[in-house]
Amino acid sequence: MKTKIYQFIVCCICSACFTWAQEKPNIIILFADDLGYGDLSCYGAQDVNTPNIDQLAEEGLRFTDFQVASSVCSPSRAALLTGRYPMRNGFPVAQGKIKKHKDYGLHADEMTIADVLLKEKYATLAIGKWHLGFNKGHQPIDHGFQHFYGLQSNWHTKHPDLDDVYFDRKVVKENVAFETLIGDYTNKAIEYMEENKKNPFFIYLAYHSVHSPIKPSKEFIGTSKGSLYGDYVQELDYHVGRLTQALTDKKLDENTIVIFLSDNGPAICHFGGSAGPLNGGKYTTMEGGFRIPAIIKWKGKFATGVNNTFLSSMDLLPTLASLAGAKLPKDRVIDGKDITSILKTGKGTSPHKYMYYYNGINLQAIRKGPWKLHLPRTSEDQPFWSKNKNEKPFNGSNLKNIGCRGLIALGRPLLFDLEHDMGELTDVSKKHPEIVEEFLKEAERVRKELGDINVIGTDQRVPPFENIQEKK
């Protein structure tokens, strides 16, 4: 009799543990690279067809005012994973395979989404492009990911180890053809879902698409009206569809949060892409560099439709922590906010009073509600990817014909009402001097906290090299 009672109790405990595990949602972040606001058909693209991402948008929340914290790769990734501005987490410029960046990586003290979820008994896997340093201490498995499968950073053949696929710290495939990576990564994610379907998992899948090289697989060449770039976007869509279909087939879709977004705007100066109605693109602090396509779905739990709330990729860490039942540390500033209520209801106001637009370590714009003020700057203030020694300061009021690199040099503050002018075309600073004055005061305050050119902020983590804005 006692044996039967004991067995009954054990069964109840096991059942409760299994139920508890399943109550925590699985989480998948699909992070596209250099995908512009206007590159998907659900965001108005006419020359590409993205039915799978469109379906994700139809079944989830599609955001029209979702921002990242940088318009280049590495800082944007660091901000998403830590919930903190790049100036605060110590990763303000893109990491390169150069001598001065040899010790540059995501600091060991920084806490990532994976760190938070690992403490909540999640299985954690990073796949794809890391680009946050690859010395020991800076790798994915040093930052909360139990496993990593992917490349150190961007795919290149000019560096001998940048076309090698790693599993954890070891190379498992050498000299990999670029076109094979997107399918390989998707396969790995689907395998991991199957292996961990009885416990909560977190997959951070950072695709190389649609970053250069613009090399879609041969079966996708010629499938779009948008040249090779459009074909490349459609290939990304195909593999997103494979992954979401696998969730359905494995009966995991009702307990999995799927987040799709891009790391920054399109590289319109180099490889194409579209920012849609927005001005500028990658490398700029215009909306085309920071405002990105973003879709979040949790079947039956989150609202559906289109949401216009001003949100940030930094909001993901505190939001996912809340949904997983995790507590955040109180020893640091988390710039992101918990947006669970907005996701569940599809309604609400932005949790951010101000947002700051840095290009490298240069504060270039501030936003509050619909208002955005671009701050004066010189070409010398810019990071290496935006410098132009012969650039004359822009002193006009209409930005309709501004170049793809945005406002490299600016002689005076420019104010835009994004509610009526999301393309940042018409300066209205003379009509609203009180807003300009408020924002200039806020710029002085935040410089003291986060830093700027020739200013070290009180809560700025400074990278381990000098001349931060320079390549050499």
Q: Which residues of 351-367 are buried (b: 16+ CB within 10 A; e: fewer)?
A: bbeebbbbbbbbbbbbb
Instruction: State the Cα–Cα distance between residues 147 and 125, nearest whole angstrom.
Output: 5
Which two structure tokens, joined as six digits, stand for 238? Answer: 């195909």
- DSSP-derived letter for residue 104 is -
Q: Tell me, what's the pLDDT at 404?
A: 86
Return the CATH fold of 355-450.
Answer: Arylsulfatase, C-terminal domain (3.30.1120)
Distance CA 418, CA 4 (A): 68
> What is the per-residue DSSP string for 32-63?
ESS--TTSSGGGT-SS---HHHHHHHHHSEEE
Separation between Cα atoms, residue 232 and residue 24, nearest integer Å: 34
Q: In this predicted structure, what is the pLDDT of residue 395?
A: 85
Report the relative pairing of strands 371-374 and 147-151 from DSSP bridges.
unpaired
Predicted pLDDT at 405: 87
The boundaries of every CATH 3.30.1120.10 domain in the chain are 355-450
**Where do the CATH 3.40.720.10 domains begin and end in the chain?**
25-345
Degrees (nearest 5) of the Cα angle 246, 247, 250?
A: 80
Q: What is the pLDDT along the chain (472 residues), one digit of tens a residue?
A: 444 444 544 444 444 444 344 489 999 999 999 999 999 999 999 999 999 999 999 999 999 999 999 999 999 999 999 999 999 999 999 999 899 999 999 999 999 999 999 999 999 999 999 999 999 999 999 999 999 999 999 999 888 889 999 999 999 999 999 999 999 999 999 999 999 999 999 999 999 999 999 999 999 999 999 899 999 999 999 999 999 999 999 999 999 999 999 999 999 998 889 999 999 999 999 999 999 999 999 999 999 999 999 999 999 999 999 999 999 999 999 999 999 999 999 999 999 999 999 999 999 999 999 999 999 999 999 999 999 888 889 988 788 888 888 999 999 999 999 999 999 999 999 999 999 999 999 999 999 999 999 999 999 999 999 999 999 8
Q: Is 73 a catalytic residue?
A: yes
From the candidates 131, 211, 352, 374, give the one annotated as an active-site residue: 131
- The pLDDT value given to residue 13: 44
Catalytic (active site) residue 131: yes
Q: Provide the CATH topology of domain 25-345.
A: Alkaline Phosphatase, subunit A (3.40.720)
| 355 SS3 class | strand
Residue 310: per-residue pLDDT? 98
Distance CA 357, CA 292 (A): 14
Residue from 12, 14, 17, 73 carrying the catalytic annotation = 73
Give Cα separations from 390 to 223, 380, 412, 458 (angstroms): 41, 10, 18, 34
Query: 71, 265 in Cβ contact below 8 A?
Result: yes
Give residue 187's identity as a one-letter amino acid code: N
- 106 closest CA partner among 71, 145, 68: 145
Provide the residue type at 436 as one letter: V
